[in-house]
Structure 1
Amino acid sequence: MDDNQKKNIDFYDQKYQFLDSEVNGILKRLNKLDVFLADATATDTSWVGLYHDDFQNKIVGKKVLELGCGDCANAAIMAALGAEVYANDISSKSGEIIAKVNELYKFTHPIVFIEGDFLTADFKEKDFDFVVGKAFLHHLTHDIERKFFNKICELLAPTGESRFFEPAVNSRILDEIRWHIPVPGRPSKFSKEAFKIWKANDPHPERDNSSKHFKRLGAKYFQDVQIISLGTLERFHRLLPASYNQRSFRKKAFVWERKLPSSLNRIFARSQVIIYKNAKH
C-alpha cells in the first residue's frame, strides 16, 4: 500500500464514521426517489454530470460497477432504479453503510460490496454494462489510472460503457484563483501555514485533470470518447448572497451554459463528464 492509498483510507474512514447519519440520508432520498432525482439531476453538478443523457433509464436491468462508492448514495440510487449494482471502495466504512441500507431497503438486487484496492480485489463478476465513478479518477496517480483502465476494459461487456464525473482543470489561471478562494473544509492559499497543513493531509495526488488528458487516456483504451464540460456558469452560485435562491440559479445556469460555444465551456467549466465506449480489447 502506497502513501496515497493510506491517506485515502484514513480520510474516508474518518469521513464516513457516522454510519447512522449516512444511512438515514440515503433512505430519505430513496423514499422520495423521483423528487430527489428530479432536483439533483437539474441542480447538483455531480448528479447533473453522471446522470447526463438519460443515464437513470439506461441502467435499469443492467449490471453496474461503481468505483470509489464512498458514501454509497449513488450506489443506492442506482440499485433503487433497478440496476444490479456492485460497489467497490478501499474503505470498510462504505461496506458497513451498504450492509445497513440493504437491510433497511428492499432492492430488487441488493448491492454487492467489494472491499479493497480495485487492482487486487477479487471480481467474480465480469461483463459489466457500465463501470462508473463519481469524483473518483482524480484520486489516482496517472500510473495507477492506466492500470485501472486496463482492468476496467477486462471487466466491461463488449458493448459496455465507462462513465466518470470529474473536476475539470483547463485553465491554470482559473485554477490558481480557485486555490486562493477559501471554501468549507479548505483554507485559502493566502493563509500559507493553514493551506500547507491542509495540503499535507489532502488525499488527492498532484496530477493532470484537464479534458485533454482524459481525451488522450480514453483514446488509448476506447474507440469512442466523449467529454462534456459542466459548470461554466453554475460555478458563480458561490458569489450570490445567502438570501438568493441558489438552487434556482444553478438549475438555470446549467441550461444557459449549453448555449455557450464548446471551446468557452471547456476553458471555464469546473467539472466534466467522461464517457468511454467500445473498449479496444
Structure 2
Amino acid sequence: MSKEDENQKKNREHYEKLYANYNIRNILSWINNLDAFLASATTTDTSWFAMYQRNFRKRIKGKRVLEMGCGDCVNAAVMAALGAEVFANDIAAASGEIVKKLNASYDFKYPIVFVEGDFLKNKLPSASFDFVVGKAFLHHLTLPVEKLFLKETARLLTSEGEARFFEPAVNSQILDALRWHIPVKGRPSKFHRTAFNKWKENDPHPDRTFSSKHFEKAGREFFKEVETIPVGTLERFSRFMQGGKTRNKYRRWALNFEKQLPSSWNKPLTRSQLILYKNPK
C-alpha cells in the first residue's frame, strides 16, 4: 500500500468512527436560528471568522458550491440554508448519512448533494462550480495529493470562480516547536513523550508543511490570483482563558484588532489562515 493510500485509509477509518450515528439536533438548531448562529460563530471562532470574510454569506446565495471534506456537515448545512446549491464531498460514508438526515429534516431550497469517496475519482463536470471550499481540509493531504486536488479544483471552477480554504498556518519554526509542548484537547504535551508518541501514531494528519509560502506557491501553479490572509495571531491566546463570556469577548476583540497589525508581525505569528485562489489557469 502506498503512503497516500495508507494516509487515506487512516483518515477514512478515523472519520467513519467519529461521525457514526451523528446527532443532527445541534445543526438543526443552528440553521433554524441562522442569523444568531452566524453572528456568534463568525466573530468568536477562527474558522468561521475566516471562511465567511468578504461577504461570503451573501455571495453564495443561488451559487453552486462544492465543499471538500464536509465532515460533520455543519458548514454544508449552513451554506445550504443560506440558499447555496451545495455539493458535499467526504471519504467517510458516515457524512452521507448526516446529509440524508439533514435533507429529511430541513426544507433547503436546494437539497444537499453528497459526493462520496475520493474526490479525485468522481470526475465532476468541468467549470461547474462557483465556489470550492474546504474547512481544515488541505492539511489532511500529503503534498503530492494536495497538488492533484488543487489541479482538480481549478478544473471544476468557473472562470470567475473562487476557492477558499481555512487551514492552520505555521510560519515560525520557534512557535511550531513550542506548540507541540502545550497540551490541547485531544493532544498531550510533547513533554509527556509516551503519551505524545501514542497520539502521534493515531493522528490522521500527515507530516507536511502548513506555511503560507507553501500554499501561495502551490496555488500559483493553477491560479492567476493567490492570497493568504492570517487569522488568529492574537486570538491564539484565548486558549489560556476560562470559557464563557470573557473568552468570547476577548476573541471578538482579537480577531478584529489583529487585522490592523503590520503584515510583518501578523503573518509570522498567525496560527491559521484563509487561502484564496481565483482565476483558474
**Does TM-score exceed 0.5, indicating one fold?**
yes
Q: 1:19-75 deviations in whole A, cap 9, x for unaligned?
A: 22xx11110111100000011111100000111111000101100000000000000
Which of 6, 11, 23 lines up with 1:8 in the alignment? Answer: 11
Report SS of the residue matched to 1:120. helix
- Alpha-carbon deviation of 1:152? 1.0
- The answer to which of 96-105 and 253-262 deviates more is 253-262
Amino acid at match of 1:109: Y
- Alpha-carbon deviation of 1:124? 5.2
Amino acid at match of 1:49: A
Residue 45 of structure 1 corresponds to: 46
Residue 179 of structure 1 corresponds to: 180
**Is 1:206 equivalent to 2:207 in the alignment?**
yes
Given that residues 127 and 158 in structure 1 are in contact (C-alpha distance below 8 angstroms), is that contact kept between their aligned partners in structure 2? Answer: no
Given that residues 182 and 189 in structure 2 are in contact (C-alpha distance below 8 angstroms), is that contact kept between their aligned partners in structure 1? Answer: yes
Given that residues 220 and 226 in structure 2 are in contact (C-alpha distance below 8 angstroms), is that contact kept between their aligned partners in structure 1? Answer: yes
- Alpha-carbon deviation of 1:241? 3.7
| CA–CA distance in structure 1, aligned partners of residues 157 and 241 of structure 2 | 43
Residue 257 of structure 2 corresponds to: 256
Residues 173-252 of structure 1 mapped to structure 2, 5 A cutoff: 173-242=174-243, 245-252=246-253
- Alpha-carbon deviation of 1:123? 2.3
- Alpha-carbon deviation of 1:200? 0.7
Given that residues 12 and 91 in structure 2 are in contact (C-alpha distance below 8 angstroms), is that contact kept between their aligned partners in structure 1? Answer: yes
Report SS of the residue matched to 1:273. strand
| CA–CA distance in structure 1, aligned partners of residues 7 and 128 of structure 2 | 30
Report SS of the residue matched to 2:239. helix
Residues 106-125 of structure 1 mapped to structure 2, 5 A cutoff: 106-123=107-124
Amino acid at match of 1:29: W
TM-score by length of 1: 0.96
Residue 92 of structure 2 corresponds to: 91
Give structure 2 stretches of 5+ with no counterpart. Answer: none
- Alpha-carbon deviation of 1:82? 0.4
Given that residues 127 and 159 in structure 2 are in contact (C-alpha distance below 8 angstroms), is that contact kept between their aligned partners in structure 1? Answer: no
Given that residues 179 and 189 in structure 1 are in contact (C-alpha distance below 8 angstroms), is that contact kept between their aligned partners in structure 2? Answer: yes
Residue 55 of structure 1 corresponds to: 56
- Identity percentage over the alignment? 55
Q: Against the structure 1 CA distance between its residues 244 and 79, is the aligned structure 2 distance closer, same or farther, given a 3 Å change threshold?
A: closer
| CA RMSD of superposed structures (Å) | 1.2
Amino acid at match of 1:37: L
Write out the 4+ residue segments of structure 1 that deviate beyond 6 Å after TM superposition.
none
Amino acid at match of 2:6: D
Number of residue-to-residue matches in the alignment: 278
Give structure 1 stretches of 5+ with no counterpart. Answer: none
Amino acid at match of 2:12: I
Report SS of the residue matched to 2:50. helix
- Alpha-carbon deviation of 1:126? 4.6
| CA–CA distance in structure 1, aligned partners of residues 244 and 95 of structure 2 | 35
Report SS of the residue matched to 1:229. strand
Q: Against the structure 1 CA distance between its residues 34 and 242, is the aligned structure 2 distance closer, same or farther, given a 3 Å change threshold?
A: closer
TM-score by length of 2: 0.96
Amino acid at match of 2:33: K
